[in-house]
Amino acid sequence: MNFSLALGRFLGVLAMLAVLTQGAHAQGTSGTSTTVRSADYIVAVVNSEPITNAQVNAEMARALRQYAAQRRPAPAEAALRRQVLDQLINERAQLQLAREMGLKVDEPSVDQAEQNVARQNQMTVAQLRQQVQQLDGMAPEVLRNRLRDQLLLTRLREREVDARVRVSDADVEQYLVEQQQRNNNPASQLVNIAHILVAVPEDASAAREAELQRKAEQIALRARDKGADFAALARELSDAGDRVNGGQLGLRAGDRYPALFTNAVRMLAVGQVSDPVRSGAGFHVLKLIERRQPGLPPQTVTQSRARHILLIPSAQLSEAQARDKLNDFRRRIVAGETDFATLARQNSQDGSAAQGGDLGWANPGMFVPEFEGVMNQLAPGQISEPLISRFGVHLIQLLERRQATLNEREQRELIRNMLRERKMAEAYDNWVRDTRARAYVELREAPQ
């Protein structure tokens, strides 16, 4: 198995905070009460499972709190109520399908989800439970059931949607041709320029202006030195207000820069520095930071190098046992009793085991999101807690990060990943509609 080639959209563990504010089951998900109170009534039935007015109202309240927190206007009450009911029906149909297929989520997976939510919000699990109960009235067991349902929906989507999406070389080539046709105008190219300004006073004499020009020329020479830090020079020497940002003006279309700037960098390669150019404000030394076509991936990305140990659950090794084993590995490594590479060579069930678990330098999007999301939160040298992905249970150590310029093959791979995400989103929408169409849905009294 080549772990690094897989990619998919992870909807559960790393985005669980959204579930707490926009979850669709206040009471009535797996393991929670579906008893209809005397003051309540059934608004819909999905196969044989009821959805009550109280459940719709609870979700309405969560949705309104989320709109308020994000300072966004909420839809009209009637429209939002219809959206909420549709979401409840869709999720209920999907959960029923997952159970019919025999998909399950065990307690260690729910533990991990709860820990991830707490960690991302910089609190303990106990603090998370307390806050959710205070803000949302959601008891800890209801919270865990909600997390379990979301993990189950994620696994269902991975199996029924994500795993079936393919992007061919022809798809990538067609996208490149379409983008090239749209971007034939150089003014539409996206460029990021950094500058150092040597200001020239309006009343400067010719001698003073010549002196300032020589200063700008010296700065340009320094900026071209091997290993020179343009941003540091800008902070030290520039008279412009953007010097605190290293002089960077930001990635934007060429026609949104002064023509003086775009003309000066037109023939430069990325990373090169121009001769000083004169504007009404003074002399500018320009560096081309980035140039790319709209719709195409960036030429420079942050790469990560990590290693991992993968254990694949089986009849002889449960998911919980794999997790416990990796926890013990982590304890031994941190205590200095052994090293990561040795344990990876001896135990990992991934193809990288022979390299001590080393996955090499990876661009964004090369790993499945549940793996990459955890890896991206690690500092160099740090070891993760065991995490569960569609491949099994992993222990990750981040080795180092770097900025790298992508070659053509790597840029094509990023485009492939982007197209796959688009295709998965479209396939998911179609699958949601099909799943609902196959379910028996009876709408009863309207929610209020």
Dump pLDDT digits (tens) for 253-301: 888 899 899 999 988 988 999 999 999 999 999 999 988 777 777 777 8
The answer, yes or no, to whether residue 410 has pLDDT greater than 90, is no
How much is the pLDDT for 101? 94
pLDDT band at 39 (very low <50, low <70, confident <90, very high): low
Dump pLDDT digits (tens) for 161-184: 988 899 999 999 998 888 777 666
| Selection from 236, 234, 289 nearest residue 261 by Cα | 289
Cβ distance 132 to 16 under 8 Å? no
How much is the pLDDT for 12? 35
How much is the pLDDT for 112? 82
The answer, yes or no, to whether residue 11 has pLDDT greater than 70, is no
Whole-number Å distance between alpha carbons of 29 and 145? 7
Mean pLDDT, range 231-255, rounded to an integer? 90
Whole-number Å distance between alpha carbons of 380 and 409? 27
The answer, yes or no, to whether residue 389 has pLDDT greater than 90, is no
The answer, yes or no, to whether residue 13 has pLDDT greater than 80, is no
3-state secondary structure 103-135: CCCCHHHHHHHHHHHHHHCCCCHHHHHHHHHHH
Tell me which architecture the domain covering 3-165+424-443 has in CATH.
Answer: Orthogonal Bundle (1.10)
How much is the pLDDT for 183? 60
Instruction: Read off φ and ψ for residue 160, nearest 5 degrees.
Output: -90, -20
User: In percent, how much of the chain has pLDDT > 90?
Assistant: 53
Dump pLDDT digits (tens) for 299-308: 778 899 999 9
The answer, yes or no, to whether residue 140 has pLDDT greater than 80, is yes
**Rounded to a whole number, what is the distance in angstroms from the first to the last CA of the chain?**
52
At which residue do the structure tokens 């990992």 appear? Answer: 348
Who has greater pLDDT, 67 or 199?
199
On average, the pLDDT of the chain sits at: 85
| Selection from 81, 281, 275, 307 nearest residue 201 by Cα | 281
Dump pLDDT digits (tens) for 364-385: 888 888 899 899 989 999 999 9
Mean pLDDT, range 52-77, rounded to an integer? 88
How much is the pLDDT for 446? 83
CA dist 309 → 239, 345, 347, 358, 393 (Å): 52, 9, 7, 9, 8
Whole-number Å distance between alpha carbons of 43 and 448? 9
pLDDT band at 188 (very low <50, low <70, confident <90, very high): low
* Mutual angle of helices 77-100 and 140-160, in 10-degree steps: 70
The answer, yes or no, to whether residue 3 has pLDDT greater than 50, is no
CATH number of 184-292: 3.10.50.40
List the Cα angle 429/434/437 in 5-degree steps.
130
The answer, yes or no, to whether residue 352 has pLDDT greater than 70, is yes
CA atoms 144, 147, 152, 153: torsion sign? positive
3-state secondary structure the chain: CCHHHCCCCCCCHHHHHHHHHHCCCCCCCCCCCCCCCCCCCEEEEECCEEEEHHHHHHHHHHHHHHHHHCCCCCCCHHHHHHHHHHHHHHHHHHHHHHHHCCCCCCHHHHHHHHHHHHHHCCCCHHHHHHHHHHHHCCCHHHHHHHHHHHHHHHHHHHHHCHHHCCCCHHHHHHHHHHHHHHCCCHHHCEEEEEEEEEECCCCCCHHHHHHHHHHHHHHHHHHHCCCCCHHHHHHHHCCCHHHHHCCEEEEEEHHHCCHHHHHHHCCCCCCCECCCEECCCEEEEEEEEEEECCCCCCCEEEEEEEEEEEECCCCCCCHHHHHHHHHHHHHHHHCCCCCHHHHHHHHCCCHHHHHCCEEEEECCCCCCHHHHHHHHCCCCCCECCCEEECCEEEEEEEEEEEEEECCHHHHHHHHHHHHHHHHHHHHHHHHHHHHHHHCCEEECCCCC
Dump pLDDT digits (tens) for 84-120: 999 999 999 999 999 999 998 988 889 888 887 887 6
How much is the pLDDT for 328? 96
How much is the pLDDT for 211? 96
Mean pLDDT, range 316-345, rounded to an integer? 94
pLDDT band at 56 (very low <50, low <70, confident <90, very high): very high
The answer, yes or no, to whether residue 21 has pLDDT greater than 80, is no
How much is the pLDDT for 385? 92
| Selection from 97, 112, 115, 87 nearest residue 155 by Cα | 97
Task: Give all strands of the β-sheet with 277-278 in edge-to-edge order.
Answer: 248-253, 190-199, 282-292, 277-278
Q: What are the start and end residues of each CATH 1.10.4030.10 domain in the chain? A: 3-165+424-443
pLDDT band at 26 (very low <50, low <70, confident <90, very high): very low
User: In percent, how much of the chain has pLDDT > 70?
Assistant: 89
Q: What are the start and end residues of each CATH 3.10.50.40 domain in the chain? A: 184-292, 300-405
300-405 CATH, one of 1.25.40.10, 3.40.190.10, 3.10.50.40, 3.30.565.10: 3.10.50.40
Strands 49-52, 282-292: pairing is unpaired
Whole-number Å distance between alpha carbons of 351 and 359? 9
- Residue 148 corresponds to which tokens in the numbers above? 């379990």
How much is the pLDDT for 300? 78
- Residue 101 corresponds to which tokens in the numbers above? 């297929």
